[in-house]
Amino acid sequence: MSQLVPDTPELSEFYKRLPDYSLAPLWTVLSSLITPVPVSRCQPAHWDYKKVRPLILESGSLITAKQAERRVLILENPGMPGESKITDSLYAGLQLILPGEVAPAHRHSQSALRFIVEGSGAYTAVDGEKTIMEEGDFVITPSWTWHDHGNDSTEPMVWLDGLDIPLVSMLDASFFEKYPDDLFPQSRPVGDALARYGSGLLPVGYEHARPTSPVFNYPFAKTRKALEQMKLADEWDPCHGLKSRFVNPVTGDYAMPTMATHMQLLPKGFESETYRSTDATVFSVAEGSGKSTVGDQIIEWQRRDTFVVPSWTEIRHFPATESYLFSFSNRPVQEKLGLWREKRGED
């Protein structure tokens, strides 16, 4: 690959004839197709919630959730403007739903996750079951499930949406359908899925039809308690602090087939060791403040901020206070394809 491709008049003339046959020479592009390490247009980036919140609220005075279908400001990676991507394979956005509003029912083949950033008491309904959302909750809308959102509370709610849109586009497998009414009919009481499938029990004979977890709200109160308890045993990982994976209780696999989700606790004053992995990762700060070095950038983060770490980019965390970081990436896809790699420490 390091051999120099000759540049002769004969070759130039040869290249000109190829497009008519829908042909192209590999040797001119090989080194950019197959790189020794991941090379991406995805850049480290940070969305300071203090700065973007006024714009999100302003969107609420300009368009209703119903008019917009989903009132979202997309978090566009600065290396890929106009492409609706936060990483090469993932989409993210901040969605606002105001008191009294409804975001009408629809379904799509893309899987969606929500991480609640601000507010309390709005709901998402998935295939006939509502869940009431609180800050720090991780909520799933599995592929091809009917879902609508509503806010019966008295305050605005904002959440981070994560979808596998670029991945599904690459696979050319996008389907979308609107439900004829705003709301999909409710068929189960609030809390049904969490009680049934998220209590360390599974109903006898239960067989789950899809690869996504049947639990679709992982409340922050429970997640936080789990990590608080682990803290007592003081088992800090030098790179991750205390980091737990959200799981599908039926299979033990990730909660979603295309997106890994994690919550990590970093103690005050912790200085993590250098880490990198092939899954570009989106972080949302659930609690605390601090900074992280991402490649050659320093990102100073606070509660409710979002930041993104590109594939194979070195990261170190320096929490100033005890901090909880939620994160998501395409790691399950890479693992299933045998592609996922990580590296601890520096080169």
Say whether residue 303 binds ligand 1HN (CB under 6 A): no
> Could you say which DSSP state residue 140 is in?
E
Strand-pairing partners, residue 244, are: 263
From the list 177, 210, 187, 191, the residue with the least C-alpha distance to 105 is 177
160 lies in the site for ligand 1HN, by CB under 6 A: no
Sites for ligand 1HN among residues 66-105 (CB under 6 A): 70, 72, 93, 95, 103
Cβ proximity to ligand 1HN: between 72 and 75 the closer is 72
Q: Give the residue with the Cβ less far from ligand 1HN, 108 or 317.
A: 108
The footprint of ligand 1HN on this chain (CB under 6 A) covers a number of residues equal to 13
Residue 67, exposed/middle/buried by CB under 10 A (0-12, 13-18, 19+)? exposed
User: What is the closest distance, in whole angstroms, from the C-beta atom of residue 148 to ligand 1HN in the complex?
Assistant: 8
Burial tier of 140 (Cβ tally within 10 Å: 0-12, 13-18, 19+): buried
Work out whether 208 is an interface residue with ligand 1HN (CB under 6 A).
no
Question: In the set 140, 163, 168, 259, which binds ligand 1HN (CB under 6 A)?
Answer: 163
Smallest distance, ligand 1HN to C-beta of residue 257, A: 17
Contact call for residue 117 and ligand 1HN (CB under 6 A) = no
Among 71, 147, 276, 303, binds ligand 1HN (CB under 6 A): 147
Q: Residue 206, SS3? A: coil
178 close to 104: Cβ distance less than 8 angstroms: yes
How many C-beta neighbours within 10 Å does residue 220 have? 21
Selection from 90, 199, 108, 207 nearest residue 148 by Cα? 108
CA–CA separation, 75 and 80 (whole Å): 11
Q: How far is the CB of 23 from ligand 1HN (least distance, A)?
A: 37
Residue 145: which of 256, 253, 263 has the closest Cα? 256
Shortest separation between residue 114's beta carbon and ligand 1HN, angstroms: 7
Residue in 124, 117, 111, 139 with CA at minimum distance from that of residue 219: 139
> Cβ closer to ligand 1HN: 89 or 95?
95
Q: How far is the CB of 191 from ligand 1HN (least distance, A)?
A: 21
CB of 163 to ligand 1HN, least distance (A): 5
CB under 6 A: which stretch of 25-33, 56-64, 158-166, 269-277 binds ligand 1HN? Answer: 158-166
Residues interacting with ligand 1HN, by CB under 6 A? 70, 72, 93, 95, 103, 108, 112, 141, 147, 149, 161, 163, 165
